Amino acid sequence: MAGNTFGRLFKVMTFGESHGEALGGIIDGCPPGIDLDFDAIRNEMQRRKPGQSAIVTQRKEEDEVQFLSGIFEGKTTGTPIGFVIPNTNQKSDDYSDIKDTYRPSHADYVYEKKYGIRDYRGGGRSSARETASRVVAGAIAKQVIPDIKINAFVSSVGEIFIDKPYQDLDFSLTESNPVRCPDAASAAKMEEYIRQIRKEGDTVGGTITCVIQNVPIGLGEPVFDKLHAELGKAMLSINAVKGFEYGSGFCGAKMKGSDHNDLYNPDGTTKSNLSGGIQGGISNGMDIYFRVAFKPVATLIQKQEVLDNLGNIVELQGKGRHDPCVVPRAVPIVEAMAALVIADFYLLLNNVKK
């Protein structure tokens, strides 16, 4: 009820503050007998990790995950998988100046008001560092559904958009540049723009598109737990996300039905796919695709007005090691959350299939 659990049959509970002892979580419901690929898990952690390129934060976090249970001789046993990611490089002193202040567009103020107490160091539980646990769980979820392909990529930074449909992109190029944009020309522009923003001590928003392919028909539970409703919730639960659309999305709201309907082929596939692979909340076997909007990071390396706990507006000089643009590092997080949703519905599907 307190919001730190995700999923039903593939259930994840997470814990951890950015500057506490450790982050971690428990996965309950992972099917037994999966020969875990630990390199794949480590690789996903690397993709999310700070310091991986010149355009992301230069904080050093080791992000080594330790598995404590649920795995025997390399295989999942069906019992809960406990894991811990120690916080090894936290400089708490960096944060003494925000102990009594609430930074604009951060969660400092609302945590204080809701709980009457907060771990102010680095944002505590509200820090995006929390997503490290999601990436671990998502990396295991991917191994529950090995045939389903989940590919996310940066589709815009500020006003710079990829101007191609996803079908024209080669997802194998996503990791070839630090922006994680599979379109080389756009990637170069985005990277240049992020460097410039960073010089200004500013930040910028962006969007991530995610494509899920080779999906079985039948995932999703009407009426409240529609597949896209759960995907939407999963994405909106990621730090800094402001919007979610799938298939035709907000553009679809401008269209006529005669242009929007996806006509069938005789084999049950559809000629167009404005539906985004989901009908009535249930996957129809076509590609699922959706787009996620991220606001600009709130921490600026500039002077800003902040509120203190005495009700004064004071100036605070932003400092530290922060991301000028969050979307490159958010790509593996989007994939992880998508994997959690899909794996969960995949396990549920077994119960109604004839």
Residue 24 vs 182, nearer CB to a copy of itself: 24
Stretch that binds a copy of itself, among 39-47, 51-59, 62-70, 175-183 (CB under 8 A): 62-70
Has 126 been labeled as part of a binding site?
yes
Does position 28 interact with a copy of itself (CB under 8 A)? The reply is yes
* CB distance 270 to 286 below 8 Å: yes
Stretch that binds a copy of itself, among 38-46, 57-65, 156-164, 174-182 (CB under 8 A): 156-164
In the region spanning residues 98 to 127, those forming contacts with a copy of itself, defined by CB under 8 A, are: 102, 104-107, 109-111, 113-119, 124-126
Whole-angstrom Cα distance, residue 203 to residue 304? 13
**Contact pick of 56, 132, 140, 293 for a copy of itself (by CB under 8 A):** 293
HSE of 196, CA atoms in CB hemisphere, 13 A: 8
Residue 52 vs 105, nearer CB to a copy of itself: 105
Does position 230 interact with a copy of itself (CB under 8 A)? The reply is yes
- Give the position of tokens 């809960």: 80
**Contact pick of 57, 90, 156, 186 for a copy of itself (by CB under 8 A):** 156
* Amino acid identity at 142: K
Residues in Cβ contact with 326 at an 8 Å cutoff, skipping those fewer than 6 apart: 128, 203, 205, 206, 239, 240, 294, 296, 297
Q: What is the largest CA-CA distance in the chain?
A: 69
Stretch that binds a copy of itself, among 88-96, 170-178, 184-192, 216-224 (CB under 8 A): 216-224
Does position 188 interact with a copy of itself (CB under 8 A)? The reply is no
Has 237 been labeled as part of a binding site?
no
Least distance in angstroms from the C-beta of 280 to a copy of itself: 3
Does position 275 interact with a copy of itself (CB under 8 A)? The reply is yes
Whole-angstrom Cα distance, residue 228 to residue 292? 12
Least distance in angstroms from the C-beta of 172 to a copy of itself: 25
Give the binding-site size for a copy of itself (rule: CB under 8 A). 147
**Contact pick of 51, 52, 173, 243 for a copy of itself (by CB under 8 A):** 243
Of the candidates 76, 80, 74, which has an alpha carbon nearest to the alpha carbon of residue 7? Answer: 80
Query: Could you give phi then psi for residue 208, rounded to 5 degrees?
Result: -120, 135
- Gap between the terminal Cα atoms of the chain: 33
**Contact pick of 92, 94, 178, 218 for a copy of itself (by CB under 8 A):** 218
Query: Could you give phi then psi for residue 155, rounded to 5 degrees?
Result: -105, -15
Residue 187 vs 300, nearer CB to a copy of itself: 300
Does position 333 interact with a copy of itself (CB under 8 A)? The reply is no
Radius of gyration of the CA atoms of the chain, in A: 21
CB-count burial class (<10 Å; 0-12, 13-18, 19+) for 6:
buried
Beginning with the edge strand found earlier in the chain, give each strand of the sheet holding 101-102 in spatial order.
Answer: 101-102, 303-308, 313-317
Per-residue binding string, a copy of itself, 77-96, x by CB under 8 A, is: xxxxxx-x------------
